[in-house]
Structure 1
Amino acid sequence: MIKQNNKSTLKSSTSSPQLTDKKSLVLGGVIVLLIALSPILFYSYESFPTSSVWKTFFFEIETSYGSWYLYAWYLAGKAIPVYLLLIWFFTCKHWWHWIILVPLAMYSFQLWSLCLENSNQDSLEIIYILPLMAVIIPFVYLIRAKLFNSVRGDNLQSFEEELGQKRTLWGQIKDLFS
């Protein structure tokens, strides 16, 4: 059986295999711990006061939202997806991991709007995300096309002929499942 080489099986010649395996286990354990902490971090909004003014011995802060509890709920609802998407982006080894930047950018813009206490938070981020999507989506599609071309071969003539054939809707659906 032919064993594929990937990032997890390649070992550096300067470090011992046991040290590399130990580092990998520690790093994996930290990542698992960070993911496991996400529900605790999300439900931390329940510890915030239900009034719009938060008074402590050290400070007094007021929010434009109905209450600090509501603001913290919105914040957790935007920050935890950013947190989990960042973990996913930096740990994903697949070729398509760049597309994770699109929802990451969407949640980041919403989080930024929330931090500025802008009440019109979920309506304008599409304006900022469209240029990012215009760059990332063709880039990912180009990578996919190059991979598809290398797997299928360099015979694009048959592929172009197949695209040029006129088919009915039912014929196209049948081709999807064949």
Structure 2
Amino acid sequence: MIPDKRSTIKKKLIIEGLFALIISLSVLFFYSYKYIPRGDELEEWSFLGLTFTKNGFNQIYLAVYFYLGKIVPLYLLVIWFITCKHWWYHAILIPIAMYAFQLFSSIYGTSLKVDENELLYLMGICMVVIPIVYFIRVKLFDKHVHGIDLDAIDAELKEYKERERLQKEQDLKSKKL
């Protein structure tokens, strides 16, 4: 085996292993809110340099529960988007945007207005993503299901136009003679 190919395979295995590890740890990340100290008197809590506050929730662990309920699906969807090889992978952007807006509003808003106005922001994203996905689908459907190859049709049209042009030139030459 070529040494360059070995290093490429090693890198690929390491990256795929990291993705598998992150995915398998998602359950642990999601339920880590259970290990946060509880109590109404606790106003802020620090962990690994991050400081968490109540941010409109009754207790800090509820705020962290809500954040993790948005972060874990968000990073799983991002991994799916990055690694997906299907033609429709752009559609994954819609739930990614939904969770991102919900996370943003839960961090920078109050707990009373979370998950209410994200629909308005998602409409703009949907108006861009859905036509792109549909256009890709139509192109693939025409080519693979109906057997319509648009490049072949364009080439054939150019050939017909060239024949017409040559025929007109011949007709003009024959009229002049």
TM bucket, shorter chain = 0.7 to 0.9
Q: Secondary structure at the match of 2:113?
A: coil
Q: Secondary structure at the match of 2:85?
A: coil
Q: Name stretches of at least 5 consecutive residues in structure 2 with no aligned partner.
A: 150-177
CA positional deviation for 1:111: 0.3
CA positional deviation for 1:17: 1.9
Q: Secondary structure at the match of 1:98?
A: helix
CA contact (8 A) 1:50 1:70 kept: no
The sequence identity of aligned pairs, in percent, is 39
Structure number with higher helix proportion: 2
- 1:131-170 equivalent positions in 2, closer than 5 A: 131-151=124-144, 152-154=146-148
Q: Name stretches of at least 5 consecutive residues in structure 1 with no aligned partner.
A: 1-12, 156-178
Q: 1:55 to 1:76 in 2, by over 3 A?
A: closer
CA contact (8 A) 2:55 2:107 kept: no
Higher relative contact order (CA 8 A, sep 6+): 2
Specify the structure having the higher radius of gyration (Cα).
Answer: 2
Post-superposition CA distance 1:70-91 (Å, at most 9, x none):
1111111111010100111111
How many residue pairs end up in the alignment? 142
Q: 1:49 to 1:117 in 2, by over 3 A?
A: farther
TM-score normalized by structure 1?
A: 0.72
Return the letter of the residue paired with 1:41: F
1:47 corresponds in structure 2 to 35
Distance 2:102 2:54 in 1: 21
Q: 1:114 to 1:61 in 2, by over 3 A?
A: closer
Which of 8, 16, 24 does residue 4 from structure 2 map onto? 16
Q: Secondary structure at the match of 2:57?
A: coil
Matched, 1:66 2:54: no
